[in-house]
Amino acid sequence: MYVNRVNKTAYCRQHFIEYFERKVKKTIRKYRMLGKTEHIVVAVSGGKDSMALLYFLWKMSKKNPGWRVSALIVDEGIRGYREYTIANFLRVNERLGVPYKIASFKEYFGMTLDEIVEEGRRRGLPYLPCAYCGVFRRYLLNKVAREMGGTVLATAHNMDDVVQTFIMNLAKDTLDKLARLAPVTGIASHEKFVRRIKPFIEVTEKETSIYALLNGLIEPEYHKCPYAEFNVRFKIRKMINELEEAQPGTKNSLLNSYLSIVRLLGEKRQVGEVKTCKICGEPSSHDVCRACQFRIGLGILEKGVYELKRGL
């Protein structure tokens, strides 16, 4: 039995699933995330959140004949972690039968994340593993989803994820990045940018975990990313969870505060001009996208490539 401490309601298995799915459907309608005809590419890691999202959208597609669902798995190449989550996806997908593609860092960048981290340290670069991972993952998700013919890219960011990132941006004074957290992003920003949606933005991490468990979507054994300890997010997460425990509804209030700020600032003002990377041709906020900047720094691309592309 699950007890929601905010609305003070207890749910059995059946009623929790109904509550969860009803809430996510309402979010999709509220933010007009999906039209009648969509090819929904779901960003899947094989973990609890993304598997819950894939299962939910697969289930909803049975009632919406205009929806086609595919899965996109990014294999960063993290030994002792990613092979287990991919195996979990494959196990569940034997039941769902969703078309999928696995895009690896090794295939697209010539190096696994483990190799990238090692090379970055050898060259004395100041970036943490999560910086490389985040940039390259976002790059591949957009590029490959577009290559798959996706009309929309669905990510499993839940309320906890968005609130944590919101606080991190406040702490770092990087409010210009807030637009990435919006329920829907990428509308008319660039012809190569696949519109992104976050159907789980109004449900908590605990709720998505329970939904995944009740539907047999994750293995009992938990595998933690070995690079997680380097990410300040986990300190923020602990702090917010303690606040939620002492004051139920804190996460929801923080989410509402974030959404209010987005409305006040306006998405266009936050996003700024979206350019085209002069090296790879992908959407970028700079002349050279962050992924190509990293590739140059790591020696994957020669520095002269940029000058060559500019015709200098």
Determine the pLDDT at residue 292.
96
Helix (H, G, I), strand (E, B) or coil at 40: strand
Q: What is the pLDDT of residues 171-210, one digit of tens each?
A: 887 777 777 778 998 765 788 999 999 999 999 999 999 9
Which domains are delineated in the chain?
2-219+228-266 (3.40.50.620), 273-312 (no CATH)
Task: Provide the 8-state DSSP code for 180.
Answer: G
Burial 13-48 (b: 16+ CB within 10 A, else e): eeebbebbeeebeebbeebebbeeebbbbbbbbbbb
Q: Which residues contact 189 (CB under 8 A, 6 or more apart)?
A: 271, 274, 283
Q: Within 10 A of 113 (CB to CB), how many other CB atoms are there?
A: 27
Q: 3-class DSSP state for residue 76?
A: coil
Contact 24, 51 (CB under 8 A): no
In angstroms, the CA 248 to CA 7 distance is 9
Measured distance CA(72)–CA(188) in Å, rounded: 23
Between helix 205-214 and helix 48-61 the angle, nearest 10°, is 60
Per-residue pLDDT of the chain (312 residues; tens, 9 = 90+): 787 877 778 889 999 999 999 999 999 999 999 999 999 999 999 999 999 999 999 999 999 999 999 999 999 999 989 999 999 999 999 999 999 999 999 999 999 999 999 999 999 999 999 999 999 999 999 999 999 999 999 999 999 999 999 998 888 877 777 777 789 987 657 889 999 999 999 999 999 999 999 999 987 677 778 887 777 888 899 999 999 999 999 999 999 999 988 887 764 444 457 889 999 999 998 899 999 999 999 999 865 444 444 443
> In whole angstroms, what is the distance from residue 19 CA to residue 1 CA?
13
Contact 19, 11 (CB under 8 A): yes
Rounded Cα–Cα distance for residues 302 and 181 (Å): 33
DSSP state, 194? Answer: P
- Phi, psi for 6 (deg, rounded to 5): -80, -50
Nearest CA-CA partner of 9 in 27, 213, 238, 22: 22
* Rounded CA separation 182/267 (Å): 9
Burial class of residue 191 in the structure, from the number of CB atoms within 10 Å of its CB (0-12 exposed, 13-18 middle, 19+ buried): exposed
Radius of gyration of the chain (CA): 20
Tokens found for residue 189: 């920003």
Residue type, 53: L
The pLDDT of residue 312 is 34
Give yes or no for a contact between 42 and 70, defined as CB atoms under 8 angstroms apart.
yes
Does the global pTM surpass 0.75? Answer: yes
pLDDT at 136: 97
124: CB partners within 8 A, 6+ apart: none
